[in-house]
Amino acid sequence: MPGSDVRVEALRGIDIDFREGESVAICGASGSGKSTLMNIIGCLDRPTSGRYVLGGTDVSELDDDQLSDIRGQRIGFVFQNFNLIAQLTVLENLEVPMFYQGLPAPQRRERAWHIAGRVGLTERVHHRPTQLSGGQQQRAAIARALINDPLILLADEPTGNLDSTTGEQILTVFDELRAQGKTIIMVTHSPSVAERCDRIVTLRDGFVVEDTRSGNGRSHPATS
């Protein structure tokens, strides 16, 4: 901890693989290590030891600029609070990540229209976030996360601020993306949301204590 000699181990000896095209729910109580794990997967934090390989690249020792490039090109983030820019339209919000990747304006606009259609927002692209429902804002956030065709989507409680009907609609979007081959990793406290995933990884005190795959009905206690 800052200013002290106390060392806090948020994760302890985790050895885990995520497969291309699967959806994974990360579950556990507060303080179990979920946020730290997601920050490492999202290249926001570096592991203090061990390796993290993403798409064949060991990103554990990359510098800040290289990690920024990885985040922009290979990882899509979907936040519980949407994190859309209020002053911009949906279309403009979708263009922002491509601007930082240096894509020309015509290409940005064409791809933004395509992705907006993919999540069912074609008729709302000229609206600003405050003119959208919660579900539409989350669709816009998902579209923005998809805009650079990332290897993985990371979602933090993606239905946490939505009513049950709207949440179901958003989960259907994730189902469709998984069917199209996207890898989706989401933190959730909701058992019903977790059960929609191919796999449920449960953390406790920094350890993976259970890794359950759908289809075989068996849970696999983890060892460390």
Mean pLDDT within 72-101:
93
Residue 39 has pLDDT above 80, yes or no: yes
CA distance 220 to 85: 42
pLDDT, one tens digit per residue, over 131-142 is: 999 999 999 999
3-state secondary structure of 104: coil
Neighbours of 94 (CB within 10 A): 28
Residue 214 has pLDDT above 70, yes or no: no
Residue 85 has pLDDT above 60, yes or no: yes
Confidence of residue 222 (pLDDT cuts 50, 70, 90): very low
Nearest CA to 55 out of 178, 151, 153, 184 is that of 151
pLDDT, one tens digit per residue, over 149-183 is: 998 999 999 998 899 999 999 999 999 999 989 99
Residue 94 has pLDDT above 90, yes or no: yes
Task: Identify the pLDDT of residue 213.
Answer: 86
Task: Identify the pLDDT of residue 9.
Answer: 66
Task: Identify the pLDDT of residue 61.
Answer: 82
Mean pLDDT within 110-128:
95
pTM: 0.86
- Tell me the domains of the chain and their CATH numbers: 34-182 (3.40.50.300)
Q: Strand runs (DSSP E) across 50-145, as ranges?
A: 53-54, 57-58, 75-78
Sequence-distant (6+) residues with CB within 8 A of 102 are none
